[in-house]
Structure 1
Amino acid sequence: MKAAESEVPDVHFSVDKQNIALWPREPPPKTDPSLVLRKSLTVRAAVIILTLGLATTILLQAALYPWFMRTISEVKTNAQLLKGRVDNISTLGSEIKRNRGGMEATGIQVQKVNASLDHVRSQIWKLETGVKEANAQIQMLTSSWEAVNHLNAQIPELKRNLDKASSLNAKVRELQTSLENISKLLKQQNDILQMVSQGWKYFKGNFYYFSKVPKTWYSAQQFCVSRNSQLTSVTSESEQEFLYKMAGGLFYWIGLTKAGSEGDWYWVDDTPFNKVQSARFWIPGEPNNAGNNEHCANIKMSSLQSWNDASCDNKFLFICKRPYIPSEP
């Protein structure tokens, strides 16, 4: 074997544009015919086997081709279906992702709704409590309404009694007014009697004091002031008549005076002096200011025209006047 191997010729090859040649460096040696025959048989057998394999392959292809094509078609169809399903699954995945966010938002909303429901339950409980209280109040009002209806039935009789009571009240008020007036009159009479007991005379709401001791005009005014009064003023014909009748023809100072020869006459108790009205009360020809020293007036005669001006230093009786003021009860 080593010798045979050592005798194998070297192989060379060359390449041109279209062919590849392989040859030994020297012409191969001549082979044995039996060896050639064996090679020929081997080649034929190989060709037959290849032919049979090829035929078998063609027959198998002819038999299996329709089935193979149907299988391929079914595979394509299934592939398309799978692709559609995959697309649907992808779409569903996207939808699931979107819905997952929505689910989370929905969960938050559900939590809020649950909180709102809890609040609503609390409000409902409060309302139920309020309804129970309202029902209790309604029952009380119903009872009260029944009592009101009972009272309404008594209203006509009560109204008649009220009319009678109103009439009685009116009479009572009249009696009270009469009693108050009588009380005032009695009180006034009591006050008047007290003043009369002290030497005062009462006439139309005023008290008058006719003195028993003569004084000058100024001294007489001081005496009246010490008795909470003033030398009398004369404001009406009836008052003038009362005074001269009570004077009885005696000389009495009154509260009419003036400041100097050129001054105007005025009442010492600040009663406004009515010059026109008072002109009827002067003695004719008076006042004449004899000797320029007659600045005070007095009642000289027992008549309507009885006033006379005289010197304030003369001493005459005098008349004090004070208004009636009801005493405290």
Structure 2
Amino acid sequence: MEPEAKWNGSSEQVEFSRMSPRSQGFTKLPGQKTCGKSVLLFTFVLLISVALWAALLFLFLTRSKEIAQDLEKLQESCVYHNDSGIVTIIRQLQMDQWDLKNDVPQLSKALNKLQEDQTTLKSKASQMNQQLDRLEEDRTAFKSQVLNEQNAATQAWGKLQEEIEKLWTEFQRANGSICTNCPENWQLFEKKCYFFGKEPKTWSQAKFACVSLQGRLVSIKSKEEQAFLTQKANKKGSWIGLRDLDIEGEFVWMDGSPLNYSNWSPGEPNNQGQGEDCVAMRANNGRWNDANCRGQQESWICEKLATC
């Protein structure tokens, strides 16, 4: 019985060494979760083993009691019949009964050892689950941080490119160049080119559509620019590059400039309903209205600098 108990202890050490998170590293979370499942499976096997040992011990005790009763009956019969063969059988049964009694402490000890192993494995499994939870939290936080830094870097790079384009355009103008070139299907007004999208989109979809055209949602800075856009835009309403997504009530253009010129409809912005954080230019009169960013407008307006 003792070698079997020692073998179980060694198996526990092997399983625990396989489940150690230090041997797996930070980037192998799926493997660690598999180790956690292995611990649970091994714990389930131990529970079955404990139940079998308990059943076996109960059978031994029951059988020992039955043998004792049979011995008493045989002894009475032997005394009555004076049969030497029966006496021999009785003595053999008494020896078997004694052996069973000697096995009971060993079985109890093995059962206690299995229960201790079960408790230890439960504790280790709980520790492993806690470590896996912490690693998952760290991974999520790290992923979020990387995405935020990537977005910030992308925005900074876009602004840097825009500033470079502005400086290059001004330099060419200073040297006498005429900067009035716009891509096909774009329309020129003063120093900028404008694209009037015609497909229904949400504000975010319109923003990325302008980015894919190497532009951005329009920033309106003057009455003259507003009049031009009102004349050319879709008469059913168009998204423009104004929003207060970061701070409620603080509207900012896509180029990062503050709201120095406005053309709000009466009573707007009102942030009605579940929140209106994006701005659309209304049909016909070109007045602005704050609207739900997840809603759709029939059109959207992009802009970018004219080239020389």
- TM-score class, shorter-chain normalisation, is 0.3 to 0.5
- The structure with the largest alpha-carbon Rg is 1
Higher normalized contact order (CA 8 Å, seq sep 6+, divided by chain length): 2
**TM-score, normalization by structure 1:** 0.38
**TM-score, normalization by structure 2:** 0.40
